Amino acid sequence: MFTDSIEIASKFTRPIHTISRLYGDKEVVPRAATLFFVNDEGWALTCKHVVQLIAASDQVNKTYSQFKVELEKIKDSEDFNTKKLELEQKYNYNDRTTIQIKNTFVDCVDKLTGFKIHEHPKYDLALMKFEGFSQLACNEFPIFQKDTSYLKQGRFLCRLGYPFPEFTNFKYNEDKDDIEWTKEGNQGSPKFPIEGMITRFLIDSGKQMGIELSRPGLRGQSGGPLFNEHGIVQGMQFSTKHLHLGFDIENKEISVKGQKKEVSDYSFIHLGQCIHVSTLKEFMKEKGVNFKEEE
């Protein structure tokens, strides 16, 4: 049903790869998010929480660099451990603190000097414009649904994104105490589609601002397009909510490989939430961003 439309959406949907690590840990943690371009000027749609993470990464990295400078100054102190603890308290560092975040935009532009970003004041929605490029790695762009009466309960739609970060082109450089991108390893992650039926609409001030789907959007698909079987964009994935079903099982005895065990289970349904196409179009019009609508 969505075979052709996934190919269409793939032409303008791109992954954002992120690596990070916690204080006192050498393990590099990969994760991904999604954006999709809307025109040849370099404008793309994604989630507000995605661009906020990107914006925060510079400050996180700068703070850790400052911490290392101060740590270097006390390294030969007789009371090093005491002073180090004081320094950790000054920077609010503990083993749950993220100290480094680095991002890369895969197959987006040939070079990049910065971004222009518009965050929606209410919703998890943002526009970002890539700046300083001479070549955009995208020459086909989405068509947005014009007649929104098309969106009704029971309509099947599909989302596309990059929820499973299989890229491995990164490492921890122990000599520099730094995480970094490398030319070795897998530089990509497979795109992943997931369908869902429209179950309900998200309403704000009497208007449909979002769409609820019967299946979850997956971590990493945030910022990815929602589209129909023709590849026409109907919205953008932004979150998943979890509703308790009440079909709870507690201390039920079952047989597993011939042995009796007691198990408990608490059932939830996981429903994807997408920004409605009308909200996307209103925001783009407000910011003067060009886009195509279905004729």
What pLDDT score was predicted for residue 256?
Answer: 85
Could you tell me the pLDDT band of residue 98, with boundaries at 50, 70 and 90? very high
- pLDDT above 90 covers a percentage of the chain that reads 89
pLDDT in tens, 121-159: 999 999 999 999 999 999 999 999 999 999 999 999 999
What pLDDT score was predicted for residue 222?
Answer: 95
Distance from C-alpha of 15 to C-alpha of 265, rounded to nearest angstrom = 35
Task: Name residue, tokens 């991108």.
Answer: 181
pLDDT in tens, 55-93: 999 999 999 999 999 999 998 888 999 999 999 999 999
pTM: 0.90
- Residues 271, 212: contact at Cβ < 8 Å? yes
Distance from C-alpha of 19 to C-alpha of 55, rounded to nearest angstrom = 14
Radius of gyration of the chain (CA): 23
Dihedral sign (CA 30, 33, 36, 37)? negative
> Which of 292, 293, 280 has the alpha carbon at shortest distance from 48?
280
- pLDDT above 70 covers a percentage of the chain that reads 100
Could you tell me the pLDDT band of residue 23, with boundaries at 50, 70 and 90? very high
- Residues 137, 161: contact at Cβ < 8 Å? no
Res. 10: pLDDT tops 90: yes
Q: How far apart are the first and last CA of the chain?
A: 22
Res. 2: pLDDT tops 90: yes
User: Which amino acid type is present at position 82?
Assistant: T
CA 43 to chain centroid: 17
> Which of 36, 102, 14, 18 has the alpha carbon at shortest distance from 277?
36
What pLDDT score was predicted for residue 294?
Answer: 87
pLDDT in tens, 168-224: 999 999 999 999 999 999 998 899 999 999 999 999 999 999 999 999 999 899 999
What pLDDT score was predicted for residue 70?
Answer: 95
- Residue of 1 and 232 predicted with greater confidence: 232
Q: Going from the N-terminus, what domains does the chain have, and what CATH number goes with each? A: 3-293 (2.40.10.120)
